[in-house]
Each structure stands twice: as structure tokens, then as C-alpha cells.
């Protein structure tokens, strides 16, 4: 499940960091510090989000791997 979490993290992390950055820019914060804070928040939130999503995907398969064809 750790490998799945890392794969999901590589997609979820830039997405949430981008959402945080866009939210900060739309809110009128266009200097470096607020942007870095928004990006850091997106990064930190993506860690548990990746874990939760991986756990749900893993539980849908009951921990079984799909047969290779």
C-alpha cells in the first residue's frame, strides 16, 4: 500500500499545491510569503489525502492483486 500511496502522492501533491497557489492569488495575496504558505499547506494536506485514498483503493480490492494477463 505504501507504493500506491507514493504514486498517488506524486499526482495529488502538485494538484493541491496548485489549488492553494491559485486560491492565494485569487484572494489578492501576490507576494512570495503568502504563496509559499499556500503551497506548503497544499503539500502537507496531500500527505494524509494520499494515504486515505490509497487505503480506500486498497480496501476495494480486498488487498488482492489483479491477475496479470
Label residue 60 by pLDDT band (50, 70, 90).
Answer: confident
Q: Which three cell numbers stand for residue 11?
A: 499526482
Q: State the average pLDDT over residues 19-39.
A: 95
Residue pair 5/34 in contact by the 8 Å Cβ criterion: no
Only one residue has cell 480490492, namely 61
The confidence score (pLDDT) of residue 63 equals 58
Q: In the predicted model, is pLDDT for residue 62 greater than 80?
A: no
Q: In the predicted model, is pLDDT for residue 68 greater than 70?
A: no
The confidence score (pLDDT) of residue 64 equals 66
Amino acid at each position: 500500500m505504501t507504493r500506491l500511496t507514493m504514486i498517488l502522492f506524486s499526482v495529488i501533491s502538485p494538484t493541491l499545491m496548485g489549488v492553494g497557489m491559485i486560491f492565494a492569488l485569487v484572494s489578492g495575496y501576490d507576494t512570495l510569503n503568502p504563496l509559499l504558505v499556500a503551497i506548503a499547506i497544499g503539500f502537507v494536506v496531500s500527505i494524509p489525502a494520499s494515504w486515505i485514498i490509497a487505503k480506500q483503493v486498497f480496501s476495494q480490492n480486498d488487498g488482492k492483486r489483479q491477475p496479470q494477463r
